[in-house]
Structure 1
Amino acid sequence: MKLHIETHGAGKELVLLHGWGMHGGIWEGVQEQLAQHFRLHVVDLPGYGASSACEPYTLTRLAEILAGSFPGRVNVCGWSLGGQVALTWAQQSPAQVERLVLVGATPCFTKRVCWENGIDPEVFDIFARNLQQAYEATLKRFLSLQARAGEDARQVMAQLRANLFTRGRPSIEVLRAGLRILQESDLRDEIGLITQPVLLIHGEYDTLAPVAVAYWLKDHLLKARLEVVPGSAHAPFLSHRQDFIKLLVGFLRG
């Protein structure tokens, strides 16, 4: 399959990966400034925007498709589900991925034995069931989880909703496959295999991936730096754009 990738700017290669239910357009608020520093590649993940879906819809397959779409070395910034894709890509292709920036990322979105830093797995079951009867409302309820508790929750929610369908509507099958990844994936055992330098950018009030996750990642990644964004929830690149850009540029150009 072929990914839809929009490329802007010049400099070091930087790939941006969006989260579940969204598309590459979610980065519009920061891409112009980032393109002043990098050769920026804004990706629509399979099944979103202008990219066709893939089978099987797994982290491994998504990472394989990305690796095949970029012939040279790249830096990767992944948000939420995109963070898990970025981690998988970095592990599978360590010679290709130079540095990682993980935004609102977690190795495991759901609560498990010895892992309380997630949400109840049943929440994803409910979202998957409700997609058939109330597609748009279900997506918007998930977006509310991403904005909840942040100082600029109303503004962030408005931005998420405004971007939601600007590149079409992902199929229910793709959305359900993504929810299965969020519900079932547990990358904790693989975290120690990530050898690249990693910048963790995490919102102080993130409820989808609590900030305790970011501290866990910092302690278990080999080369990690953590920056907690005060007042932000799950999408600091929307709520605190200039802080996000400064942190990312400083890390990748340092």
Structure 2
Amino acid sequence: MTHIHTEIYGQGQPLVMIHGWAMHTGIWRDFARQLAEVYQVICVDLPGHGRSEVLEPFDLETIAKTVLQAIPVQQFSVLGWSLGATVAMAMAEQAPQRIRHLVVLAGNPRFVQTEEWPGVKSQTLDGFVELLKTDVQQTLTRFLALQVNGLAHGKALLQSLKQALQECPPPPVAVLQAGLDVLKSSDLRAFIRNNPLPTSLILGEKDTLIPLSCGDAVRELNAGVNVHVLAAAGHAPFLSHPQQLLTALSHVL
């Protein structure tokens, strides 16, 4: 079995947290410890990220199954961020009986923009794929910069992201490429349309990766989804607007 690294803080109702592409648990450890004043927070390193072993094949179905097996409690709420949100939705689709509440943070059931769906331009992800072939560090730096683009204190936030990432070596290039493939190819709109679970979508007002129009698009799929917009926040609100995010989570969980 693939070893999946977890870090557990606090006591109370279990809340599983799943990070984004190229990241690891350290990226939001401080925020997790704040949440741990109320919840038992279980942070998970995705396969091949942080301190978790590489998984083959690195596809969405296998990732979700492997993460579900690694969670030490039977029932929990799950908060997924960015790529982690895609994984969280896939987990809820595979094992709805284990999920109390699904929180999609800066995520999208269809990550890539199409003519009828708002999302990231496919050229943006293609650019990362190409850059990965020659310069992993520059790819990661560019991706981090996108997350704080246009925010007040953006330079300081970028530095915080970089410092947190340096705690662990970056994932292997093959894992990074596979993660981008997951984002490019996954389409969980049918799941969201038929999803019976309590579900919340939390978006940053100034997120340059997940446009605000995703909120309306998701509500059209399923009017039962709670949509929360964090004013002036970007793609990583747990760093830029932690108190605002904590307040939003206290309302939805």
Tell me which residue corresponds to 1:250. Answer: 251
Counterpart check, 1:91 vs 2:93 = yes
Question: For this pair of structures, how many residues does the alignment match?
Answer: 251
Residue 133 of structure 1 aligns to a residue whose secondary structure is coil
Letter in 1 for 2:82: S
Distance (Å, rounded) in 2 between the aligned partners of 1:35 and 1:136: 32
Task: Answer whether contact 1:3 1:52 (CA < 8 A) is retained.
Answer: yes
1: CA distance between counterparts of 2:176 and 2:216?
29
Aligned equivalents of 2:221 and 2:151: distance in 1? 27
Match of 1:95, SS?
helix
Spell out, residue by residue over 1:133-164, the C-alpha distance to the aligned partner (whole angstroms, 9 max, x if none): 21101111011111112334223222211112
Q: Structure 2, unaligned stretches of length 5 or more? A: none
Following superposition, the deviation at residue 222 of structure 1 comes to: 5.2
Partner letter of residue 111 of structure 1? Answer: Q
* Whole-angstrom distance in 2 between the partners of 1:216 and 1:20: 23
Over the matched positions of the two proteins, sequence identity in percent amounts to 35
Q: State the match for 2:41 in structure 1.
A: 40
Is the partner of 1:40 in helix, strand or coil?
A: strand
User: 2:12 corresponds to which residue?
Assistant: 11
Comparing 45-54 with 120-129, greater Cα deviation is found at 120-129
CA distance in 2, matches of 1:149, 1:89: 33
Following superposition, the deviation at residue 227 of structure 1 comes to 1.3
Give the Å deviation of 1:52. Answer: 0.5
Specify the alignment match of 1:206 in structure 2: 207
Once residues 213 and 36 of structure 2 are traced to their aligned partners in structure 1, the CA distance between those partners, rounded to angstroms, is 32
Q: Which runs of 4+ in 1 moved over 6 A?
A: none
Q: Superposition RMSD on alpha carbons, in Å? A: 1.4
Q: CA deviation at 1:34?
A: 0.7
Structure 1 CA distance for aligned equivalents of residues 105 and 112 of structure 2: 17
Provide structure 1 residue ranges, at least 5 long, that are not aligned to the other structure. none
Q: Where does residue 186 of structure 2 map in the other structure?
A: 185
The TM-score with structure 1 as length reference comes to 0.94
Pairing partner for 1:104 from 106, 110, 113: 106
Does 186-195 or 135-144 show the bigger shift? 186-195
Q: Is the Cα contact below 8 Å between 1:208 and 1:234 reproduced in 2?
A: yes
The alpha carbon displacement at 1:191 in A equals 1.3
Report the Cα distance in structure 1 between the residues aligned to 2:252 and 2:113, rounded to whole angstroms.
31
The within-5 A match list for 1:122-201 is 122-201=123-202
**Partner SS state of residue 201, structure 1:** strand
Paired AA for residue 94 in structure 1: P
User: Partners in 2 of 1:167 and 1:195 — Cα distance?
Assistant: 37
Given residue 166 of structure 1, which amino acid in structure 2 is its aligned partner? E
For residues 148 and 184 of structure 1, what CA distance do their matches in structure 2 show?
25
